[in-house]
Amino acid sequence: MEFFTRLWRWLRGGPAVDPLAGLGVECPWRHRWDHLPKRSAGPDFTPQDYAEARARAREVARATLGEARWAELQRQGYLDVPSRRFPGVTYRLRVGRRIEVRCAPGVRPPWRQPYLCINPTYPLPEEEFFAHLYLYVRDREDLVIRVAAPQPWDQALGRTF
Amino acid sequence: MPRIIIANRRGHQVIEWETTDTEEARAQIAIAERILAEARAQGCVVSRKVGGQHVLDDGPFDPQAEEYQIIAPIAGG
């Protein structure tokens, strides 16, 4: 009952009592992560934490992509997503890597550099972020175009692990 | 049971709610709605499972949705 009382106060903008605090769920948008080294989840993470996080990430990435796309990713090591904005352009997505921009013969590349660097703003297992990036490229290409940092070569992403 | 998948460094964590007409269910739904609103306000986007696949979704919170997922904001570089 106390939980509901606290929830009601919180929903009405009352004293800063946060019912999420007791749920044991980490909401990463509530924290700052700039201080973390690249490809790290934080100093409190043990090797077992990494292993468990990657296992959970794999499970949800598979469910997010769906069986057909997941199988395609496992078979060929990447997923191609055709651009809706630039005819003849395809985005090639690999787990934990920059996006490769591929053009059909005769098509002028939209960027001078062939790779796009896009990271999550908080640390995530790389397969989890791969599924996010797939949704962004497929459903929000305009946002991808706006934030992408073109790069001359491929490289591992810095905010995933 | 409807749920929100919160992607975080733990891989993900899940919030579920009942859709029955009880005080407890209403409280769970209020939490779920608040989480989605808070995440969107902080730059996250939300996907919703529709017809067996996730699609990015701008719509209002629907307590009857099968599954939402909070998608990390992205930045270049």
Are B30 and A133 within 8 A, CB to CB?
no
Q: Is the pLDDT of residue A9 over 80?
A: no
B60 has a chain A CB within 8 A of its CB: no
Q: Is the pLDDT of residue A14 over 80?
A: no
pLDDT tens per residue, range A34-81: 999 999 999 999 999 999 999 999 999 999 999 999 999 999 999 999
Q: Which residues of B touch A54 (CB under 8 A)?
A: 11
In a domain, B77, yes or no: no
The Cα A33–Cα A30 span in angstroms is 10
The Cα A63–Cα A144 span in angstroms is 22
* A63, A76, A77, B1 from A72: Cα distances, Å: 14, 6, 8, 29
Q: Which two tokens stand for residue A120?
A: 């999550």
What residue numbers bound the domain in which B9 lies? 3-71
Q: Is ipTM > 0.90 here? A: yes
Beta strand pairing status for A79-82 and A89-93? antiparallel
Are B69 and A64 within 8 A, CB to CB?
yes
What value does the CA radius of gyration of chain B take, rounded to a whole number of Å?
13
In a domain, B55, yes or no: yes
Give me the tens of pLDDT residue by residue for chain B, a chain 77 residues long: 999 999 999 998 999 999 999 999 999 999 999 999 999 999 999 999 998 889 999 999 999 999 999 999 999 98
Are B12 and A128 within 8 A, CB to CB?
yes
Closest chain A residue to the Cα of B6, Cα to Cα: A27
Q: Which residues of B touch A160 (CB under 8 A)?
A: none
Q: Tell me, what's the pLDDT at B35?
A: 95
Instruction: For residue B29, give the nearest of B38, B39, B20, B42 by alpha carbon.
Output: B20
Q: Tell me, what's the pLDDT at B62?
A: 97
In a domain, B8, yes or no: yes
Residue A13: band (very low, low, confident or very high) from pLDDT cuts 50, 70, 90: low
Number of domains in chain B: 1
Q: Tell me, what's the pLDDT at A7?
A: 60
pTM, two decimals, is 0.91
pLDDT tens per residue, range A104-139: 999 999 999 999 999 999 999 999 999 999 999 999
The Cα A99–Cα A90 span in angstroms is 10
B12 has a chain A CB within 8 A of its CB: yes
Contact in structure between B68 and B46 (CB atoms under 8 Å): yes
Contact in structure between A81 and A74 (CB atoms under 8 Å): no
Q: Which of B27, B34, B54 sits opposite A64 (nearest CB)?
A: B54
Q: Is the pLDDT of residue A156 over 80?
A: yes
The Cα A86–Cα A37 span in angstroms is 35
Instruction: Compute, in degrees rounded to 10, the torsion defined by CA atoms A68, A80, A115, A41.
Output: -10
Q: How far is B32 from chain A (nearest CA, A)?
A: 10
Q: Which of B11, B15, B27 sits opposite A52 (nearest CB)?
A: B11
Between A4 and B74, residue with greater pLDDT:
B74
